[in-house]
Structure 1
């Protein structure tokens, strides 16, 4: 069955979404969605968004967004020179992104990433964020993000960022 991948099928996580059968192959991400994501949403420490299909509450993929800060010293030198001389800068953290195995190989990860970037850009028009930051789970995840032009931080392995200016160009 081909999935329908439209922004209308990504929504904030609610009690009606079926999360128990979600399996992305990483138990910590499965557990997070099943046991912690709703609490994080209620406490406003993360905003989980889920992909479902019309008429089916089963979660096929999800991501979380939250506000964060980064030390300016972690950025590449050429970028540091162009930014204000603050010790830290505001960013949007793409904390988790996972796809259920049943939806693997259908472009769901890329679709969720693009949606998260679009939401981050929209939010940055109201609340400042100079980039989207991700903490890649492993080298495979790091390669996924680098494919979409995320750049590595200088001092933190597997931590990458995509400047908001580049994200704006994607949606221009």
Structure 2
């Protein structure tokens, strides 16, 4: 389920970033997320590794309230501890036997940051809903899942936004692999 459109909540819009509209000022309180959008996002875009989007003020596009970066991904057998767990996942998603592949197309939410001045205003949820809409409703390519390696302190945010844990536990002590099934959206 999507919340209201970002335009209904705020006088904001989401723009795709490129070399002509790079982010000059941003502080979400996380050094790595800040560094990425301020210094590395354009190189990732140039080399087609990730595409970044900014949630900006309608009247002043230089004021960035949030950003996200997206890349192609897949949900694969290697994301699970064993084949049994992967088979259980496929069954839970309702894949018929004829569609039991070794991986399924996904888009990775690589980074998501909300500027300190905008925290608590549901802008992060609006950005996630925008991404869900991009790939779930306006599905321009075959894409079944939205995935994220969520920082542990961000897990409650993703749970609130209807993401599920990919598996019972992760080997990385700092993140949890989570997914959202885009089939949950109704066009």
The residue correspondences of 1:11-22 to structure 2 (distance < 5 A) are 11-17=15-21, 19-22=23-26
- Asked whether 1:127 is paired with 2:141, we answer yes
Shift of 1:55: 3.0
Q: TM-score, normalised by structure 2?
A: 0.77
| 1:122 Cα offset (Å) | 4.5
User: 2:153 aligned with 1:102, yes or no?
Assistant: no
Q: Is the 8 A contact 1:152 1:160 kept in 2?
A: yes
Residue 144 of structure 1: CA displacement? 0.6
Q: Distance in 1 between matches of 2:182 and 2:121?
A: 27
Q: Is the 8 A contact 1:63 1:116 kept in 2?
A: no
Hey, what does 1:158 align to over in structure 2? Answer: 176
Query: What aligned pairs does 1:84-99 form with structure 2 within 5 A after superposition?
Result: 84-99=99-114
Correspondence for 1:80:
90
Q: Distance in 1 between matches of 2:15 and 2:166?
A: 30
Residue in structure 2 matched with residue 25 of structure 1 by the alignment: 29
Q: Does 2:155 align with 1:145?
A: no
1:43/1:18 CA distance change after superposition, 3 Å: closer
- Is this contact kept in 2: 1:60–1:103, CA < 8 A? yes
Following TM superposition, the consecutive aligned residue runs of length 4 or more in structure 1 with deviations greater than 4 angstroms are: 75-78
User: How many positions carry a matched residue from both structures?
Assistant: 163
Residue in structure 2 matching 1:10, options 10, 14, 31: 14
Q: Does 1:58 align with 2:76?
A: no
The question of whether the paired residues in 2 share the 8 Å contact of 1:17 and 1:58 is answered with no
* Higher relative contact order (Cα pairs below 8 Å, separated by 6+ residues): 2
Deviations 1:78-121 (A, max 9, x none): 44123322222111111111101011111111111111111122
Structure 1 unmatched ranges of 5 or more: none
In structure 2, the residue corresponding to 1:135 is in which secondary structure?
strand
